[in-house]
Amino acid sequence: MTAAAIQKMILFYDGSVHDIEHFMKVWGYAKAIGELEHLDPYTQRTLELAAIAHDIACPLCREKYGSTAGPYQQTEGVPLTRDFYADFGLPAEQLERICYLVGHHHTFENIAGADYQILVEADFIVNASESGMSKQAIAAFCQNVFRTDTGKSLLASIYGLDA
């Protein structure tokens, strides 16, 4: 199912190399962190499917708002995610959780659930590089938002932070 979702998302992005590479990197980090944090299979699958679709609203937001700012993505992403996964036969509860994660992946307070935490961490690891964030800003975000041992360790290793 994950491979089918990846293929569908690549087709959805219609040649946008940046969008494709971004979601693939976020999915890869989310997969690795989830597995190393020993998520149960259901939560792992929910996380991975959310990571694949987490920025599904970016093309629409660029066109509609001229921006992919987090609040736009979170608003527009939920119905797009629901439509995207409609033919995957997911349990209703799991689809709603995936939509919730997509609709909150730029909200960094009141993070509830390992899948939500890991999605935020995986997305940040990629965004920090793509946006050229300073080492100090990365360290502050890590201290304030990161909670998993794996996410902290990866971030420290990638960006040369004190562990």
| Per-residue pLDDT tens over the stretch 82-125 | 999 999 999 999 999 999 999 999 999 999 999 999 999 999 99
| Per-residue pLDDT tens over the stretch 12-30 | 999 999 999 999 999 999 9
User: What is the dihedral angle through the alpha carbons of 133, 137, 138, 144, rounded to the nearest 10 degrees?
Assistant: -150
What pTM was computed for the model? Answer: 0.95
For residue 80, which of 111, 63, 59 has the smallest C-alpha distance? 59
What does the pLDDT read at residue 162?
A: 80
What does the pLDDT read at residue 70?
A: 86
Share of the chain above pLDDT 90, in %: 93
Q: Is the pLDDT of residue 130 over 90?
A: yes
